[in-house]
């Protein structure tokens, strides 16, 4: 990065208030294909470049002291893509972790994965299992990858598990509260995201964290994920810190 960029970043960092940091940031990593097309490259080159963005943003989030980062890496709808692209995406966790697992371990980061993981190819499952195992005793930032994840699917799975408990007589319908339902989701033990970032210019949720985003602050940018950098991330956080979160109430009379 050039010196101007570094200067802008350090100026932005100074403006961030440590007390008002989002605890949980969710990111829809979108725009890899369009980035590649703009460069005249195949779509997979965009996915690979997106991995570099990922590294930069994880390092920054960790340095700031954010507790949880959830990253949308593959949706339940992404199986609709051509098989060569799906196959490439399914190999990315292995490729990413080959070089990144060790630095993540050293940063005390806990890797997690959520989604219908059973349906993933063996190579993907193996890489993830290894990363979960290697970081399970860490105590730092939680890095949560959404893989073969769909918000509706997650809600249905929770409903099925709750229905089974009711059928067994272990739970009464009147005991099903918002808190209880939340615990049956993949994110059961995590706070809801405070901030959702979506690059690439799309203004939609694309089946991500449907229940959890109820009161999340949304931040969109037209920048494509491979071009997204620390400066964008810091700007999103600063923007978040200026917002007034009311949760349906009123803050000032």
- Interacting residues toward Mg ion by CB under 5 A: 30
- Residue nearer to ligand IPE on the CB measure, 34 or 125: 34
Query: Residue 179 corresponds to which tokens in the numbers above?
Result: 């808190």
> CA torsion sign, 234 to 241 to 202 to 90?
positive
108 neighbors 65 (Cβ within 8 angstroms) = no
Say how far apart CA 147 and CA 53 lie, in whole Å.
Answer: 18
H or E element, residue 112: strand 110-114
- Residue nearer to ligand IPE on the CB measure, 78 or 241: 78
Which residue has 């509260």 as its token pair? 177
Catalytic annotation, pick one of 62, 78, 130, 229: 78
Which residue has 């991330």 as its token pair? 233
User: Which parts of this chain interact with ligand IPE (CB under 6 A)?
Assistant: 28-34, 72-75, 78, 89, 200, 202, 204, 206
- Residue nearer to ligand IPE on the CB measure, 81 or 235: 81
Q: Which residue is nearest to ligand IPE (CB)?
A: 33
Which partner, Mg ion, ligand IPE, none, binds residue 70 by CB below 5 to 8 Å per kind? none
Active site residue 179: no
CB of 13 to ligand IPE, least distance (A): 27
Biggest CA-to-CA distance, the chain: 65
The length of the chain, given as a count of residues:
253
CB of 141 to ligand IPE, least distance (A): 21
CB neighbours of 190 closer than 8 A, spacing ≥ 6? 24, 68, 70, 142, 144
> CA torsion sign, 211 to 215 to 140 to 146?
positive
Active site residue 30: yes
Which partner, ligand IPE, Mg ion, none, binds residue 110 by CB below 5 to 8 Å per kind? none
Which residue has 């005249």 as its token pair? 40
CB of 73 to ligand IPE, least distance (A): 5
- Residue nearer to Mg ion on the CB measure, 37 or 91: 37
Which partner, Mg ion, ligand IPE, none, binds residue 239 by CB below 5 to 8 Å per kind? none
CB of 68 to ligand IPE, least distance (A): 18
Q: Could you list the active site residues?
A: 30, 78
């Amino acid at each position: 990065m050039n010196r101007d960029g570094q200067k802008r970043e350090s100026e932005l960092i100074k403006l961030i208030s440590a007390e008002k940091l989002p605890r949980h940031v969710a990111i829809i990593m979108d725009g890899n294909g369009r980035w590649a097309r703009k460069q005249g490259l195949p779509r997979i080159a965009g996915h690979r470049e997106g991995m570099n963005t990922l590294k930069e943003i994880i390092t920054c989030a960790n340095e700031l002291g954010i507790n949880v980062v959830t990253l949308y890496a593959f949706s339940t709808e992404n199986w609709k893509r051509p098989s060569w692209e799906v196959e490439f995406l399914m190999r990315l966790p292995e490729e990413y972790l080959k070089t990144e697992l060790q630095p993540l371990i050293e940063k005390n980061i806990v890797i997690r994965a959520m989604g219908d993981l059973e349906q993933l190819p063996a190579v993907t499952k193996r890489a993830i299992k290894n990363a979960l195992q290697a970081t399970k005793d860490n105590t730092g930032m939680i890095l949560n990858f959404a893989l073969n994840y769909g918000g509706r699917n997650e809600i249905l799975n929770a409903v099925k598990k709750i229905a089974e408990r009711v059928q067994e007589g272990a739970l009464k319908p009147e005991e099903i509260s918002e808190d209880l339902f939340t615990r049956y989701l993949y994110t059961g033990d995590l706070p809801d995201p405070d901030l959702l970032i979506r690059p690439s210019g799309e203004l939609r949720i694309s089946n991500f964290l449907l229940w959890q985003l109820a009161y999340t602050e949304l931040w969109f940018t037209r920048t494509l994920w491979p071009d997204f950098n620390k400066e964008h991330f810091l700007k999103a956080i600063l923007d978040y810190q200026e917002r007034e979160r009311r949760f349906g109430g009123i803050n000032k009379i």
